[in-house]
Chain A
Amino acid sequence: MTRSRRQALVVMAVAAIAAFVAACGGSSSSSSSASSSSGSAGSSSSSSSNKSPITIGTSLSLSGDFASDGQNFQKGYTLWAADQNKAGGLMGHPVKLDIVSDASSPAQVVTNYQKLISSDHDQLVFGPFSTLLTVPASKVVNRFGYAFVEGAGGAPAAFGNGLKNIFDVSLPVVDNLVPYAKWIASLPASERPKTAAYATSDDPFTQPQIPLAQKIMQAAGIKTVYNKVFPAEVTDYTPIATAVASSKAEAVVLGSVDVPTVSAFVHAFIQQHYNPKSFIATAGPDQGAPFVKAVGGNANAEAIMYPNGWYPGYANAQSQNMVNEYVAKYGGTAADVGADVAEAYSVGQAVAQAVAATHSLDNSKIIAYLHSGVTLNTVQGPVKFNSLGENGAAAAFVFQWQKGNQVQVLPVGASGSKAATYPKPNWGS
């Protein structure tokens, strides 16, 4: 064998091994979900394990910008499938997940759902992560007449297309910040922030949340001193964060979609010795431990708030069971369980209840059932879909990081709400 031939073979071998490793990291979900499914099928009742599996397809962002959320969704779906199989599966059939990665791409997510339905012939489909991907995915799924139950596409953009097949089990995001804005507005004048800064990504999930909050806070006399939209593709947040710091706003409302955005603002605020009285971010702080690590520890996370419909301490038996299962399967503590996990798990629960009620995998029957006004039970609480497919029963809560824990603080007086830390202590204290 010549030297160049040997070298070529070595290169090919390295490339093959590396491609395998890359495949494991990027789109290994099919195999992992298959093993989890088969594992859980083994623990299911003997009658269900003998029947052919029901395959549920979904496209998740296992790489790219939403990789962290997408992988949490994968865990949520996997936990639900395991629990469902333990309980006998769907109509006695074991559940098998067919997960493909969309790399956080709105184009790829469309291709994926076409493949899942028309090529893989999956009987049911679950939604992807984010409104950005849910909108294009819902259109293609609608063309096949499939029910499209999802947990992370709650922005108005997902419900403005006249589709009857889309159902979001989570909180409609447009009202996310209302409890916060009302609470700020209700503070005694002497304590209430006098100025506020609003900075938001142009993402369809977060941008619609800001105007309503701003309107409520302005009506309470809180002057807007900074109000800018920034593109979702921003890689350097320094000038925006520095401009917010320069405004010296006493309250900061950040329309963020991920941990890096919030982390960049926190670090810039600390560097600029700027400490607002109140700081709320629409997403990022809900990611649990990764958020705390990114901002540099509990002391920097202290008193940062975020809106959501669920948190690991949610006093709901199903939720606590899911959290315990998560910790047992993936390790860590309850604080490590991101809201994505509960959103995904709730999707499975809603579909399972619809299948059980209709005794059918017929998607048209499932769609009709979900539109019937029935109330479903999930780890996020009750789910009742309005005519658009939004969850009208979801309650908006605001959570706050307090001494390393996520604590429900708003609405004031709501079951489970504790006192909010206000004003926010200095960074690092």
Chain B
Amino acid sequence: MNASSLAKAVIDGILTGGVYALMAAGLTLIFGVMDIINIAQGALIVLGAYMSYVLSVHLGIDLFLGLIITIPAFFVLGVFIEWAFMRRLRDQERTAMSILVTYAVAIIIEGILSVIFGADFVQLQASYINSSFHLLGFYLPYIYVFGFLLALVLLGVLYYILYRTHFGRGVRGSLQNRSAAELIGVNVNRVRALSVGIGVSVTAAGGMVFGATNSFNPSSGYDLISRLLSIVILGGLGSIGGALVAAVFMVTLEDVVAVVWSPVWATLVYYASLIVVLSFMPNGLFGRAAVRAQ
């Protein structure tokens, strides 16, 4: 191991962390707005990957261009999921029951994808997926760079919507006190539906980048969910910026350990870092109280 390998691991970690942040953004947003732990996030990511696959293979639409179709489609899907599965959860048991309900959603999505696509692994293909450019002695894959930039843009848009718009104020108001928000005219059900729609629509982009950087089949989502949950917990539940910081931190740490020490220990360190940080910062890097007050 030399300094060059270490630097490369850091670069890989930052770029891959951006991709994970994109995948985790919807998860943290939905929890922040509704106190719902969306176990279906992994399945939704895989669904997003398959939608990009269909558009790319059968209609010849570029992966990034295809987001113009998949993001709105996922927004509608998110609104439907909120209406069909989340809205009727009672406030007292919302978080606990949401695990069961969204797990059912994950199984449904996996089952439908299995019927349509079978179990064979596929991967999204485009000219820029295997291409890279040379910078400061390192080859940087275009797809990871594009994925990272996409994450910055979409997370920035999310942040703007939540903290700089009237709708965002409604979202945060309904978070802090549902009754008070309703008294001042906020349609809480509508806000929640739109919030889940937005969270799921971002997942379409995460799914595309996931599918472009990994082989996947309908069952691939389960491998992701524990990592994504760790990211949003470390970042602070509900924090968009926290998800980005946590994803970059955890994935970079994991990559560095894999290169410097051993890949066997990398996974352990990934989760150990979560425990260590929570020991000192129980609310995560950007704790919930701070998130809701922003």
Contact = CB atoms under 8 A, between A and B. Distances in A.
Interface of A: 4, 7-8, 10-11, 14-15, 18-19, 21-26, 62-65, 67-68, 70-71, 104, 202, 228-231, 233-236, 238-240, 242-243, 246, 258-260, 263-264, 267, 270-273, 287, 289-290, 293-297, 300, 427-428
Contact of B121 (A26, A63, A236, A263): A263
B118 A71 contact: yes
B119 A259 contact: no
B5 A243 contact: yes
B108 A296 contact: no
Interface of B: 4-5, 8-9, 12-13, 16, 84-85, 88, 104, 107-108, 110-115, 118-123, 125, 129-132, 139, 141, 213-220, 222-224, 227, 251, 254-256, 258-259, 262-264, 266-267
Given A8-B88, A15-B104, A230-B264, A239 B112 contact: no
Given A68-B119, A263-B123, A296-B125, A240 B219 contact: no
Contact of A236 (B84, B108, B110, B251): B251
A22 B263 contact: no
Given A22-B107, A233-B223, A271-B130, A238 B12 contact: yes
Contacts of B266: 230, 239
Given A233-B267, A294-B123, 11 more contacts: A15-B104, A22-B114, A26-B110, A63-B119, A63-B219, A229-B263, A234-B267, A243-B259, A259-B121, A267-B123, A271-B139
B63 to A, nearest CB: 14
B122 A293 contact: yes
Contacts of B111: 18-19, 21-26
Contact of B120 (A235, A272, A273, A290): A290
A71 B132 CA distance: 36
Main secondary structure, interface of B, reads helix
Counting chain B CB atoms within 10 Å of each CB, the highest count among A23, A25, A239, A264 belongs to A239
A68 B263 CA distance: 25
A62 B251 CA distance: 31
B121 A229 contact: no
A63 B139 contact: no
Contact of A290 (B121, B131, B213): B121
B115 A239 contact: no
Most chain B beta carbons < 10 A, residue from A7, A24, A235: A235
A238 B255 contact: yes
Contact of A259 (B141, B215, B254, B255): B215
Nearest to B143: A271
A63 B222 CA distance: 11
Contacts of B130: 267, 270-271, 296, 300, 427-428
Contact of B264 (A231, A235, A290): A231
Contacts of B112: 18, 21-22, 25
Q: Which 3 A-B pairs have the closest CB atoms?
A: A22-B111, A25-B114, A230-B263
Contacts of A70: 119
Given A25-B110, A233-B223, A242 B12 contact: yes
Contacts of B113: 25
A290 to B, nearest CB: 4
29 contacts: A7-B88, A11-B84, A21-B108, A22-B111, A22-B112, A23-B111, A24-B111, A25-B110, A25-B114, A26-B110, A63-B119, A67-B114, A68-B121, A71-B119, A230-B258, A235-B223, A239-B9, A240-B263, A259-B121, A260-B121, A260-B215, A260-B220, A272-B139, A290-B120, A294-B123, A296-B129, A300-B130, A427-B130, A428-B130
A239 B259 contact: yes
A68 B110 contact: no
A122 to B, nearest CB: 24
Given A18-B111, A26-B110, A63-B114, A242 B88 contact: no
B218 A67 contact: yes
B110 A263 contact: no
